Amino acid sequence: MAEKERMKLIANNKKAYHDYFIDEKYEAGIELHGTEVKSMRMGKCSIKESFIRIEKGEVFVYGMHVSPYEKGNIFNKDPLRIKKLLLHKAEINKLAGKIAEKGYTLVPLQVYFKDGRAKVEIGLARGKKLYDKRADIAKKDMRREAEKEFKIRNLK
């Protein structure tokens, strides 16, 4: 089976690519409780305002919003509760060492189901300055204009 068929995207953090330079990417499992999984299968998840911290050798994601499952009644958990991420100890130690360096942070890039398990893609990121963001916007505009001209030229 192809990789794309096994992977179902739930949430994407486009703002992370705008605000940060992503140096490395890691895949981590998410520790979820009952109805949260059902809610995520329905696509009710947001990672726009979320961030990741390493505390006492464990990785946690803060601000990840998983909407309560409609049919979950008393079993629903707090939508903004702190969720533990599942990584190997060596990966956690490596990330902790990188974060100790100046300017590095961890941001969630996307949440998806892979082979029936909820996963989050973590990016080891450095913050962009305002002029970096402006340069990216200018590049994107130039590319868009070039594509537009190419399309017009090919239609004639």
For each of the chain's 156 residues, which pLDDT tens digit applies?
455 557 788 888 888 887 888 888 999 999 887 778 878 888 888 888 888 888 888 889 898 888 777 776 666 666 678 888 888 999 888 888 888 877 788 889 888 988 888 889 998 888 777 777 788 888 888 888 888 887 777 776
β-strand partners of 27:
121
Q: How far apart are CA 133 and CA 82, in angstroms?
A: 30
The phi, psi pair for 142, rounded to 5°, reads -65, -40
CA distance linking residue 51 with residue 34, whole number of Å: 23
Task: Of 8, 92, 71, 86, give the one whose Cα is nearest residue 45.
Answer: 8
- Tokens found for residue 20: 């940060």
Domains and CATH numbers, the chain: 3-128 (2.40.280.10)
- The pTM assigned to this predicted structure is 0.71
